[in-house]
Chains A and B, each alone.
Chain A
Amino acid sequence: MAFQILLNIVLAFVYMFLKVSASPVTFLVGYFFGLLVIFIFRRFFQSRFYLLRIVAVINLFFLFIKELILSNIAVLRVILKPKLDIRPGIFALPTELKEDWEITVLANLITLTPGTLVIDVSDDNKILYVHAMDLADAEEAINSIKQTFEKAIMEVSK
């Protein structure tokens, strides 16, 4: 991916030199044509076309914003509730993610979901220990985390 972006930037500069123009517009036009050529030759590279991955990163970012807002509303509701009927607890969340950064991102995202908080990661990076504000639906929480966050992160690193 880094190679494709670097190549794209180099191509944009080559285009600027060809046009003998140092304006940002020429850079953008060159970047666009470079992108087009890289897209046509996308099967040439080991990794997939890098724009798809950037789209995945933007998706993850919006997922993050959405969960941040939802989690704050959920916590607000618990605080304002007159009756304290929550059942806190800790559950283990097995994860399929391998890379260090993937686990870090997942842990941070879980911390931001409504009522869950990552306490510890097992030594072999396979299990995350999550503290839930309301343990009544731990199974459901695991599934929803797996469905949304893990999938979105895998989409980025695929």
Chain B
Amino acid sequence: MKINDVILQTATKLVLFVIILFSIHLFFAGHYYPGGGFIGGLMTAAAIVLLLLAFDLKTVAKILPFDFKKVTAIGLLFAVGTGAGALLFDAPFLTHAFTDAYLPLLGKTSLHTAVLFDIGVYLVVIGVTLTIIQTIGESE
């Protein structure tokens, strides 16, 4: 039997973006409030899972033509690169640095290299979660 998913699909179209925005909020809240790369990545993955529930694997693969194994690899590269970057400045591996910068428009912003490490975590979590879900979903 073919079920008409029009309500689920239409609701997904809006809710998806709100969830991803919330995940970005969680990601950047990580330094001062509960949140961070792991939960942010998981939340983004959850949004894509909602997309998978409302549509099907093929549609989602067309909307997001990423190889999620590569997303994982890029995330790991980010993490290792941030750690190795410290070596260039004669500091031990994974030493982080931060500075308060006055950016145009944004005003006083504290920039911390831990965010780059967190982006790595974020991408790895998305990549791993979606690889697991897609692999299970594809197998008959």
Contact = CB atoms under 8 A, between A and B. Distances in A.
Interface string B64-98: 11000000000000000000000000000000000
Which interface residue of A15, A30, A41, A43 has the most chain B CB atoms within 10 A?
A: A41
B7 to A, nearest CB: 17
A40 B18 CA distance: 14
Q: How large is the interface on B (under 10, 10 to 19, 20 to 34, 35 or more residues)?
A: 10 to 19
A34 interface: yes
A15 B17 CA distance: 11
B58 interface: no
Contacts of A25: 105-107
Contacts of B22: 14, 18
A11 interface: yes
Interface string B40-70: 0000000000000000000000111100000
Secondary structure type dominating chain A contacts:
helix
Interface in B12-28: 13-14, 16-18, 20-22, 24-25
A40 B23 CA distance: 15
A41 B64 contact: yes
Interface in A1-43: 7, 11, 14-15, 18-19, 25, 28-30, 33-34, 37-38, 40-41, 43
Contacts of A11: 17-18, 21
Contacts of A40: 64
Contact of B25 (A7, A19, A44): A19
Given A41-B64, A43-B62, A7 B21 contact: no
B13 A44 contact: yes
Interface of B: 13-14, 16-18, 20-22, 24-25, 62-65, 105-107
